[in-house]
Chains A and B, each alone.
Chain A
């Protein structure tokens, strides 16, 4: 239920921010991305799926509160790993090959880098690869979240009164 609530908030925020973000990018670059409208639509759809998956990972981080009390530090590290391995500050293509390989073992390229790359016109093979990787991470995250929740319920100590 909390996930659905978060997803609703996320979609509303995403819609508002994409209007601002897209408008600003259009003003600054003065043109639509080279891939055309189809790439933009594919990029937007991938971004929605990736955002929902990010939310699932945040839920897992939230569940860690059952074991470590304060989850903020885990969130900071997750966020910064996103900066590095998600190509948020610099495109992954400029990274040394060893780091690119390391990044490919994390969910961050599919969550952050892939939607942007698809929106600006990636080759179809990249689109299919990104979709499959995203689906694999979604299966993993769902299973992990359920397992974490079951463990958390066992670890829960109730203060009655």
Chain B
């Protein structure tokens, strides 16, 4: 069985497991939609009063917020194991995956789904679709933008959690860095100064999970597409290298388990 087929089946199994608790899953997804809409209401209030923020209006914010929520939703719905990655490293819980003939990282990431992610995805698509910034003709670009955002969220998360191979228990630090990434992704690039902007293109790659994908969905050009795809690829490649190098330092937890 090839790796993609394996991961598809794993995701299907996770979904079936989540849907076995149908009410809890639907509640989580529904409340997450509501949660995003309430949070966005703050920005509606802000832009009603101040009209724009360094050239960034409510519609731009809605598109960026939608793409970020959608990307984050896909990331946690398909790669729900990401949040526990550093804990798995520290506890030696990767043993079970190392014995399988499939990539360790892919197995660890896809080992579970987080139901609220589906709520993020639905609200993200809804918000981006109704922002008025993306025409029907550009819908494929919107989907590409959301997928790029998702890949950056997963990759950055892997990179943050991989620090556990060197530093030990970094669970809270990794989570905080990931939350920074989410927060910075929805703000307009124009409000950040030089130093912070460099940070957002490198260590906390919010440029590739938020504003560049939003720019791509709104006005797709060759340059924007190259920057968004190239940037996301660099983040993904860096995360893969970091995890692979870290895995060499991994120490078994001597756990006995069956998968």
- What is the interface of chain A, defined by CB distance below 8 A to chain B? 68-70, 72-74, 76-77, 79-81, 83-84, 89-90, 94-96, 99
B116 touches A73 (CB 8 A): yes
CA distance A72 to B35 in the complex (A): 11
Nearest B residue (CB) for A72: B28
Q: Quick check: is B17 within 8 A (CB to CB) of the other chain?
A: no
Among A68, A77, A83, A90, which residue has its beta carbon within 8 angstroms of that of B23? Answer: A68
Q: Are B27 and A68 neighbours in the complex by a CB distance under 8 Å? A: yes
A83 CA / B32 CA spacing, docked (Å): 15
Cross-chain contact of B24 among A70, A76, A77, A84 (Cβ < 8 A): A70
Contacts A68-B23, A69-B24, A73-B27 given; indicate if A89 touches B42 (C-beta within 8 A): yes
- Measured between alpha carbons, how far is A122 from B116 in the docked complex, in Å? 41
Q: Does B30 contact A (CB under 8 A)?
A: yes
List residues of B (7-60) whose CB comes within 8 Å of A's CBs. Answer: 21, 23-24, 27-28, 30-32, 34-35, 38-39, 41-42, 45-46, 48-49
Give chain A residues whose Cβ lies under 8 Å from the Cβ of B31: 73-74, 76-77
B42–A84 contact, CB under 8 A? yes
> Which single residue of chain A is at the shortest CB-CB distance from B41?
A84
Q: Is there contact, CB below 8 Å, between B45 and A80?
A: no
- List, sorted by A's number, 27 A–B pairs whose CB atoms are closer than 8 Å: A68-B27, A70-B24, A70-B27, A72-B116, A73-B27, A73-B28, A73-B30, A73-B31, A73-B32, A74-B31, A76-B116, A77-B31, A79-B35, A81-B38, A83-B38, A83-B39, A83-B42, A84-B38, A84-B39, A84-B42, A84-B45, A89-B42, A90-B45, A90-B46, A94-B49, A96-B45, A99-B45
Contact of A80 among B35, B46, B48 (CB under 8 A): B35
Q: List B contacts of A68 (CB < 8 A).
A: 23-24, 27
Q: Is the interface of A mostly helix, strand, loop or mixed?
A: helix
Q: Give the interface of B toward A (CB within 8 A).
A: 21, 23-24, 27-28, 30-32, 34-35, 38-39, 41-42, 45-46, 48-49, 116
Number of A-B contacts (CB under 8 A): 52
Residue of B nearest to A82 (CB): B38
The interface residues of chain B lying within 8 Å CB-to-CB of A72 are 28, 116
Q: In whole Å, how far is A65's beta carbon from the nearest beta carbon of chain B?
A: 11
Contacts A73-B31, A79-B35, A84-B41 supplied; 19 other A-B pairs, CB < 8 Å: A68-B23, A68-B24, A69-B21, A70-B27, A73-B27, A73-B28, A73-B30, A74-B31, A76-B31, A76-B32, A76-B35, A77-B34, A77-B35, A77-B38, A84-B42, A89-B42, A94-B45, A95-B45, A96-B48
Chain A residue contacts of B48, Cβ below 8 A: 96
Chain B residues near A76 (CB-CB < 8 A): 31-32, 35, 116
Residues of A within 8 A of B38 (CB): 77, 80-81, 83-84
With both beta carbons as reference points, the residue of chain A lying nearest to B37 in the complex is identified as A80
Pairwise interchain contact A73-B45, C-beta atoms closer than 8 A: no
Determine how close the nearest CB of chain B comes to the CB of A96; give it in whole angstroms. 7
**Chain B residues near A94 (CB, 8 Å)?**
45, 49
